């Protein structure tokens, strides 16, 4: 097997996703380009950790299981939340590359093969893929605009196609060289998700911008052939969740702007808001005039989503200025046998301070 060894990290937090977690692990085990290991990081849920440890007992100590795949079950060693869970996985990973897969997603067979291929270029520090929604109802709601598929954790209309250079990868379907964490530190805690309680995000955006600053020669890619399928539960198909998630995105963007500056932190968002979204509104209105289902709803949802996200950004900015919201970028120390320790670059944000 040529190319770098890849460790896959899957963060889990609830037994409600038990079947999804097993499916995610199975999809990693079925890769045409095998993973070095799968790390299941459980976020402060001892019942789930024990259940998963029992499920994968045959390979939890690092020995190969009957199908040749190593699965290790770990407890999140940091504060509650997705960022700390990912940092725990990074610290324990043995691979030269660390890939991340959502616990309610399944990867296509060549997912890791496309990641490994891209790392043939030594300048490449991160590679992401394409995330396709799997709607609980069986079909996309008529009113739900593809431009807002990021609301449900999926690739949205407006991202470039093919294998292209980007500002940031999307965290549920992404990979990084281990040396990226040497340069930039880990995922910032206090920005991303904390189970279902806070539908925040942008932790991978903030990390990628920090990485590009620490390593100006770094190349970050998205390859849309590296595909995963992400389950969208029924509750997320409703406008109430759409609005809540859009507002939370605004809050998160305010934190990113505080960390890395508004110019870089909102660079891609400006293009998205001034080019992609107006075109989406125009398509929706055109479809409405042609009596096509959902046209007016999609146009209205885009407008509502923009206004709601903007409101969240304003509130988040005010809170940040008042010191009401903090986050930190931890050092990610390697576990024994997992390779060199990883420390943040000089000037990385700490305790909410801008670099």
Q: What is the pLDDT of residues 48-71, one digit of tens each?
A: 999 999 999 866 554 544 444 799
Model confidence at 346: pLDDT above 60:
no
Q: What is the mean pLDDT of residues 173-200?
A: 80
76 touches 46 (CB < 8 A): no
The dihedral over CA atoms of 147, 153, 154, 157, expressed in degrees to the nearest 10, equals: 10
Note the pLDDT of residue 333: 66
- Of residues 299 and 67, more confidently modeled: 299
Note whether 147 and 158 are within 8 A (CB).
yes
- Report for 62-66, 78-82, 345-349: range of highest mean pLDDT: 78-82
Q: Which of 5-9, 123-127, 200-204, 206-210 has the lowest mean pLDDT?
A: 200-204
| Structure letter (DSSP) for residue 31 | -
Residue 227 has pLDDT above 60, yes or no: yes
Sequence-ordered list of residues with C-beta below 8 angstroms from that of 209, at least 6 positions apart, any chain = 167, 168, 256, 259, 260, 264, 265
Across the range 203-214, mean pLDDT stands at 91
Average pLDDT of span 277-282: 96
Show the CA angle centred on residue 73, arms to residues 70 and 103, nearest 5°: 90
Note the pLDDT of residue 342: 44
Higher pLDDT, 207 or 198: 207
- Across residues 330-345, what is the average pLDDT? 53
pLDDT of residue 160: 85
Whole-structure pTM value: 0.87
Convert the pLDDT of each residue in 17-40 to its tens digit.
999 999 999 999 999 999 999 999
pLDDT for the residue 70: 92
At residue 347, the pLDDT reads: 31
The pLDDT of residue 288 is: 96
The DSSP code for 147 is G
Nearest to 201 by CA among 128, 309, 278, 106: 309
Q: What are phi and psi of 282, to 5 degrees?
A: -60, -40
pLDDT of residue 353: 26
Kindly tell me if the per-residue pLDDT of 195 is higher than 80. no
**344 has pLDDT over 50:** no
Higher pLDDT, 88 or 159: 88
Which residues, including other chains, have CB under 8 Å from residue 334's CB and lie 6 or more apart? 91, 340, 341, 342
Tell me the pLDDT of the chain averaged across its residues: 86
């Amino acid at each position: 097997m040529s190319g770098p060894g890849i460790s896959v990290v899957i963060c889990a937090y609830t037994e409600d996703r038990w079947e999804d977690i097993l499916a995610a692990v199975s999809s990693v085990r079925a890769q045409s380009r095998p993973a070095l290991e799968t790390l299941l990081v459980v976020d402060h849920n001892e019942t789930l950790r024990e259940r998963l440890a029992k499920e994968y007992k045959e390979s939890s100590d690092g020995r190969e299981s009957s199908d040749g795949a190593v699965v290790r079950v770990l407890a999140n060693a940091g504060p509650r939340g997705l960022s700390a869970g990912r940092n725990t996985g990074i610290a324990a990973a043995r691979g030269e590359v660390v890939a991340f897969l959502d616990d309610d997603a399944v990867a296509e067979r060549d997912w890791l093969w496309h990641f490994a291929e891209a790392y043939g270029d030594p300048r490449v520090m991160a590679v992401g893929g394409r995330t396709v929604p799997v709607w609980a109802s069986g079909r996309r709601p008529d009113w739900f605009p593809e431009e807002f598929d990021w609301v449900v954790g999926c690739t949205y209309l407006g991202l470039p196609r093919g294998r292209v250079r980007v500002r940031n990868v999307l965290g549920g379907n992404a990979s990084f060289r281990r040396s990226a964490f040497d340069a930039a530190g880990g995922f910032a805690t206090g920005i991303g998700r904390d189970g279902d309680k806070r539908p925040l995000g942008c932790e991978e955006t903030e990390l990628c911008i920090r990485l590009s600053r620490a390593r100006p020669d770094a190349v970050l890619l998205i390859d849309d052939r590296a595909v995963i399928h992400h389950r969208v539960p029924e509750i997320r198909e409703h406008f109430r969740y759409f609005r809540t998630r859009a507002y939370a995105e605004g809050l998160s963007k305010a934190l990113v702007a505080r960390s890395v500056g508004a110019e870089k932190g909102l660079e891609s968002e400006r293009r998205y808001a001034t080019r992609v979204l107006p075109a989406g509104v125009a398509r929706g209105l055109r479809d409405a005039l042609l009596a096509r289902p959902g046209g007016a709803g999609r146009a209205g949802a885009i407008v509502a989503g923009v206004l709601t996200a903007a409101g969240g950004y304003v509130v988040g900015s005010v809170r940040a200025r008042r010191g009401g919201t903090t986050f930190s970028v931890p050092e990610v120390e390697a576990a024994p046998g997992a390779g060199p320790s990883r420390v943040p670059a000089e000037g990385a944000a700490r305790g909410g301070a801008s670099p």
